[in-house]
Chain A
């Protein structure tokens, strides 16, 4: 298709290159430098979509991110919903279609890369328009470290859409020189296509750089598609410009209705005529530029309709050009179906609309004034004030480290913006104790024509008979003046409530054109000043940001770190089934061909109980505690005595919080008088280190002790079972492994082919067992030597599931599974692990609290399902039947719950551990567990079900 609305020359497009793209199934052409919107307008297309609720035709109404009309879905090169035609840069092969307000997420996974960069600067300037460029130049010339970010494809801001001149030359020549000068400063980072979307505490600004979107399928694979810049600035200068504001009137949503400034941008920047026959409706002088520029470009400007009775000093200029100016008049409505065909124009006197007439047009330009883009200032919790003259909200205070300049601060003329940018930058530098540059000349701008005061007009009274139901405030939400009237009629007063009631400002554009209108109309309806109504809270992001960009590289395997032991590859090769324990990947079991988990675990358990098994226990937390007062610290933090532990020995210990509840347990090896190695649970390692450091630093800073995590410095392999002594004895012949020489709960250092190895008689299964400690560099070698030495005994690697069964058969609790932060050592039947000799330790005082004396506290007991078949689901509730065999009436009292439950090879039946009220006094009783709607009877037993005498631990 041709581009009948493309001008013959001009614009910042590369006319020498033609791009082909598809929109709604139709092929169009455009040029590099176009947006999807400008290319569609060039082909004569205004309507892009239909609206979300009412299905009304909607078109391109602005030239950038404030556009409420042109929502599209991209299909190629990668499906992406909810983009604006005005911000999608055109590239070859683009396929898109219009969206009725709702998009569709891609069904294929996004193969593009996203990343993030941290960057620290003295001065961050947001916006590369005249004020921002001047501020950046001033900061750069001082030698400060500067970042300049701007959301457009090139610098210039409002200058890109106009015909301004600086130093008697086109202003864009000054822009080019400024960009070149910035590039020459080594401490300046200048990023285009980069939207600062969030402003946070202490000069922290998030910006999204769109690095390859404009390249389409030509985007290099190795370059990240989008990048989040995490900018930390000592001073932020917000030069984000202003958004033109429409005026609301009946049927103001009809395609062909467009902001006046946007039409200038389409003309000057993209070389596009947005229509042939225009009416310009304005409340201020700025739209006269649009009227005159379009006229010069060949558009028939039928009328300038100026709501101000006195009109504008620029009226003469128009009339010289043959443009009719109607002062004291308004556009009351439009006509047309999918495109405006007529503007209805009527006199407007003292707020009253007179009899109107229709003016034929295919383009209706509107300007209701300008809203400074104060988003970043407001996000940083800056207060806003309503400016009566501008009819807009402006920064009301100076913020520490963040200042606003140019149009964003309400300065709307070019010379003023240049001077203001320089002034604000110099003030920022001074505050940072950086000397502003001596040579810092501003370009000369022509003397501005003194404008006539704008009229603040939010809406034209609806004379169409639609009662405001077609007077759209928020086009994206199909929300109208009538909706605001209904909200006010329902008694709502707060603009925040009205926003939620009407949904105004909650769509994709977050109210860029509708927010201030809603405040103004609400204030009018309530009869209060606009200042009293205020605005809704500005929140990040300024424009939508894809979750993929925010996630960056933190997805898939990098979403959360995966920790593996040095044996991981061996486990994989051995066919292990893994489970996640915290961040660790641990083998759960090692099924043989044809085995399910249940069979594999029964086999692994039997091996450990009757022969020998081996476990990779390397994930256990390990903390090296050193210092003359190491024993003192441990005595204060463990419930039992550690200072009496002999070098060479091992002791099991329990740690409690100050509330007396168990927080972790494990064994402690005394390596020297002043050195201990603590073993913690896998999941509790970091928490225990934090806990120890907190007490050592904050309560007992006099203690000479240091704690260091050495979890990853040691592999730990428990070799478990009656034949474990044979295996260890065979592999370490220099170690006397006899029970008398190497008793339970002791450790020995030895070596294997020169590699230091530590052996410890520790058992988490009740069986004779040796834990083998070795540097992970040698982990696989030592593991394989253990397997080799154990082959004659059928050594069987086992996983965490078997480990759990073995420990549960012995009644050893897992902290965090069998406990939940409300369980004391006494509740676990571990009064033996609580020192009575120590005057104090963390948690001791709480044991004496009344609640801890309650005989009905939940206690850890065993449960044996009477049917010898049912594996009680963990988490099941436990109830008691009346003597007559009936359930008590609801609410049925709950006695406790099942905490661990497995099949036992040793017991030849399933069993469970449970926390039960007064559990130890119920041993021998039968309780019931509801499982899938039936009550399963279970006998309450002691928690130790296998070898309660402990006969096996010495082999």
Chain B
């Protein structure tokens, strides 16, 4: 069982956490204005990255805070965790296109 670093509480057992899927998939600013296809991409489509992946996690059985993390999906190792209000830009995969521009 892994230890996961909660940016608020420190290292805790992984059973205290919930996985929240890919990070940085923002709710569209104006949902009414996006096409059905763009909306479907927001609702249903997520990357399935091998390697470094920016993810959301929630310390659901602890402080209940959501946070961002970069994790390697092949080794499960967490490279970095960040509070949502961290002034530093959240680490994301290099050269990954924004979803809304994909089609």
Residue from the list B26, B39, B85 in contact with A846, Cβ < 8 A: B39
Q: Who on chain B is nearest to A694 by CB?
A: B66
Whole-angstrom CA separation of A697 from B34 in the bound complex: 24
The minimal Cβ–Cβ distance linking A846 to chain B, given in whole angstroms, is: 7
Q: Who on chain A is nearest to B56 by CB?
A: A698
Interface residue? A201 (CB, 8 A): yes
Which residues of B are found within 8 Å of A846, using beta-carbon distances?
Answer: 39, 43
Q: Who on chain B is nearest to A696 by CB?
A: B66
Would B2 and A659 count as touching, CB distance under 8 A?
no
Residue from the list B18, B26, B31, B43 in contact with A840, Cβ < 8 A: B31
The minimal Cβ–Cβ distance linking A701 to chain B, given in whole angstroms, is: 6
Q: Who on chain A is nearest to B60 by CB?
A: A690
Would A697 and B39 count as touching, CB distance under 8 A?
no
For window 49-98 of B, CB contacts with A under 8 Å fall at 56, 58, 60, 64-66, 76, 84-85
Interface residue? A836 (CB, 8 A): no
Residue from the list B20, B32, B43 in contact with A658, Cβ < 8 A: B43
Would B32 and A201 count as touching, CB distance under 8 A?
no
Would A840 and B32 count as touching, CB distance under 8 A?
yes
Interface residue? B36 (CB, 8 A): yes
Interface residue? A202 (CB, 8 A): yes
Would A202 and B60 count as touching, CB distance under 8 A?
no
Known contacts A202-B3, A849-B39; A698 and B84 CB within 8 A of each other: yes
Which residues of A are found within 8 Å of B44, using beta-carbon distances?
Answer: 659
Which residues of B are found within 8 Å of A111, using beta-carbon distances?
Answer: none
Known contacts A845-B32, A845-B34; A697 and B65 CB within 8 A of each other: yes
Interface residue? A857 (CB, 8 A): no
The minimal Cβ–Cβ distance linking A117 to chain B, given in whole angstroms, is: 15
Interface residue? A764 (CB, 8 A): no
Q: Please, how many residues of chain B have a CB less than 8 angstroms from a CB on the other chain? A: 26
Would B39 and A694 count as touching, CB distance under 8 A?
no
Would B56 and A201 count as touching, CB distance under 8 A?
no
Would A202 and B2 count as touching, CB distance under 8 A?
yes
Whole-angstrom CA separation of A630 from B28 in the bound complex: 22
Would A697 and B66 count as touching, CB distance under 8 A?
yes
Whole-angstrom CA separation of A849 from B43 in the bound complex: 12
Which residues of B are found within 8 Å of A698, using beta-carbon distances?
Answer: 20, 56, 66, 84
Which residues of A are found within 8 Å of B2, using beta-carbon distances?
Answer: 201-202, 204
Whole-angstrom CA separation of A58 from B56 in the bound complex: 56
Whole-angstrom CA separation of A898 from B34 in the bound complex: 37
Known contacts A693-B64, A845-B31; A850 and B1 CB within 8 A of each other: no
Whole-angstrom CA separation of A200 from B15 in the bound complex: 14
Which residues of B are found within 8 Å of A690, using beta-carbon distances?
Answer: 18, 58, 60
Would A200 and B1 count as touching, CB distance under 8 A?
yes
Which residues of A are found within 8 Å of B36, using beta-carbon distances?
Answer: 848-850
Q: Please, how many residues of chain A have a CB less than 8 angstroms from a CB on the other chain? A: 22
Best-buried of A693, A845, A846 by chain B (most CB within 10 Å)? A845
Which residues of A are found within 8 Å of B76, using beta-carbon distances?
Answer: 201
Would B1 and A201 count as touching, CB distance under 8 A?
yes
Whole-angstrom CA separation of A848 from B26 in the bound complex: 20
Would A694 and B84 count as touching, CB distance under 8 A?
no
Which residues of A are found within 8 Å of B20, using beta-carbon distances?
Answer: 694, 698
Q: Who on chain A is nearest to B38 by CB?
A: A845
Whole-angstrom CA separation of A693 from B2 in the bound complex: 25
Whole-angstrom CA separation of A708 from B20 in the bound complex: 21
The minimal Cβ–Cβ distance linking A706 to chain B, given in whole angstroms, is: 11
Which residues of B are found within 8 Å of A840, using beta-carbon distances?
Answer: 31-32
Write out, one digit per residue, whether chain B residues 21-38 have a CB within 8 A of any chain A CB (1) or not (0).
000001110011010100
Which residues of B are found within 8 Å of A694, using beta-carbon distances?
Answer: 20, 58, 66
Residue from the list B32, B66, B84 in contact with A839, Cβ < 8 A: B32
Q: Who on chain A is nearest to B30 by CB?
A: A840
Which residues of B are found within 8 Å of A697, using beta-carbon distances?
Answer: 65-66, 84
Whole-angstrom CA separation of A693 from B28 in the bound complex: 19
Q: Who on chain A is nearest to B42 by CB?
A: A658
Which residues of A are found within 8 Å of B56, using beta-carbon distances?
Answer: 698
The minimal Cβ–Cβ distance linking B37 to chain A, given in whole angstroms, is: 10
Which residues of B are found within 8 Å of A693, using beta-carbon distances?
Answer: 64, 66
Interface residue? A854 (CB, 8 A): no
Interface residue? A110 (CB, 8 A): no
Whole-angstrom CA separation of A860 from B34 in the bound complex: 30
Whole-angstrom CA separation of A697 from B56 in the bound complex: 11
Q: Who on chain B is nearest to A381 by CB?
A: B75
Whole-angstrom CA separation of A185 from B40 in the bound complex: 63
Which residues of A are found within 8 Å of B66, using beta-carbon distances?
Answer: 693-694, 697-698
The minimal Cβ–Cβ distance linking B2 to chain A, given in whole angstroms, is: 4
Whole-angstrom CA separation of A848 from B43 in the bound complex: 13
Whole-angstrom CA separation of A658 from B42 in the bound complex: 9
Interface residue? A699 (CB, 8 A): yes
Which residues of A are found within 8 Å of B26, using beta-carbon distances?
Answer: 699
Would A701 and B34 count as touching, CB distance under 8 A?
no
Whole-angstrom CA separation of A844 from B33 in the bound complex: 12
Best-buried of B20, B56, B64 by chain A (most CB within 10 Å)? B64
The minimal Cβ–Cβ distance linking B57 to chain A, given in whole angstroms, is: 11
Which residues of A are found within 8 Å of B64, using beta-carbon distances?
Answer: 693
Write out, one digit per residue, whether chain A residues 720-737 have a CB within 8 A of any chain B CB (1) or not (0).
000000000000000000
The minimal Cβ–Cβ distance linking B42 to chain A, given in whole angstroms, is: 7
Whole-angstrom CA separation of A699 from B76 in the bound complex: 26
Which residues of B are found within 8 Å of A701, using beta-carbon distances?
Answer: 84-85
Whole-angstrom CA separation of A204 from B2 in the bound complex: 8
Whole-angstrom CA separation of A739 from B13 in the bound complex: 55
Residue from the list B34, B43, B65, B85 in contact with A659, Cβ < 8 A: B43
For window 844-884 of A, CB contacts with B under 8 Å fall at 844-846, 848-850
Write out, one digit per residue, whether chain A residues 646-690 have a CB within 8 A of any chain B CB (1) or not (0).
000000000000110000000000000000000000000000001
Which residues of B are found within 8 Å of A839, using beta-carbon distances?
Answer: 32
Which residues of B are found within 8 Å of A659, using beta-carbon distances?
Answer: 43-44
Whole-angstrom CA separation of A694 from B57 in the bound complex: 10
For window 191-239 of A, CB contacts with B under 8 Å fall at 200-202, 204, 232
Best-buried of A697, A701, A844, A848 by chain B (most CB within 10 Å)? A697
Q: Who on chain B is nearest to A690 by CB?
A: B60
Residue from the list B3, B34, B42, B58 in contact with A201, Cβ < 8 A: B3
The minimal Cβ–Cβ distance linking A626 to chain B, given in whole angstroms, is: 16
Which residues of B are found within 8 Å of A850, using beta-carbon distances?
Answer: 36
The minimal Cβ–Cβ distance linking A227 to chain B, given in whole angstroms, is: 18
Whole-angstrom CA separation of A839 from B33 in the bound complex: 11
Which residues of A are found within 8 Å of B84, using beta-carbon distances?
Answer: 697-698, 701
Best-buried of B1, B34, B76, B85 by chain A (most CB within 10 Å)? B1
The minimal Cβ–Cβ distance linking B74 to chain A, given in whole angstroms, is: 12
Whole-angstrom CA separation of A848 from B35 in the bound complex: 10
The minimal Cβ–Cβ distance linking A865 to chain B, given in whole angstroms, is: 39
Whole-angstrom CA separation of A845 from B26 in the bound complex: 15
Best-buried of B2, B43, B85 by chain A (most CB within 10 Å)? B43
The minimal Cβ–Cβ distance linking B4 to chain A, given in whole angstroms, is: 9
Whole-angstrom CA separation of A840 from B60 in the bound complex: 28
Best-buried of B20, B26, B31, B66 by chain A (most CB within 10 Å)? B31
Which residues of A are found within 8 Å of B39, using beta-carbon distances?
Answer: 845-846, 849
Write out, one digit per residue, whether chain A residues 126-152 have a CB within 8 A of any chain B CB (1) or not (0).
000000000000000000000000000
Q: Who on chain A is nearest to B40 by CB?
A: A849
Whole-angstrom CA separation of A148 from B68 in the bound complex: 37
Q: Who on chain A is nearest to B18 by CB?
A: A690
- A sample of 28 inter-chain contacts (CB < 8 A) reads A201-B2, A202-B1, A204-B1, A658-B27, A658-B42, A659-B43, A693-B64, A693-B66, A694-B20, A694-B66, A698-B20, A698-B66, A699-B26, A701-B85, A840-B32, A844-B31, A844-B32, A845-B28, A845-B31, A845-B32, A845-B34, A845-B39, A846-B43, A848-B32, A848-B36, A849-B36, A849-B39, A850-B36
Chain B interface (Cβ < 8 Å from any Cβ of A) = 1-3, 18, 20, 26-28, 31-32, 34, 36, 39-40, 42-44, 56, 58, 60, 64-66, 76, 84-85
Complex A-B, nearest 3 residue pairs according to Cβ-Cβ distance, in ascending order: A845-B31, A201-B2, A202-B3
Chain A interface (Cβ < 8 Å from any Cβ of B) = 200-202, 204, 232, 658-659, 690, 693-694, 697-699, 701, 839-840, 844-846, 848-850
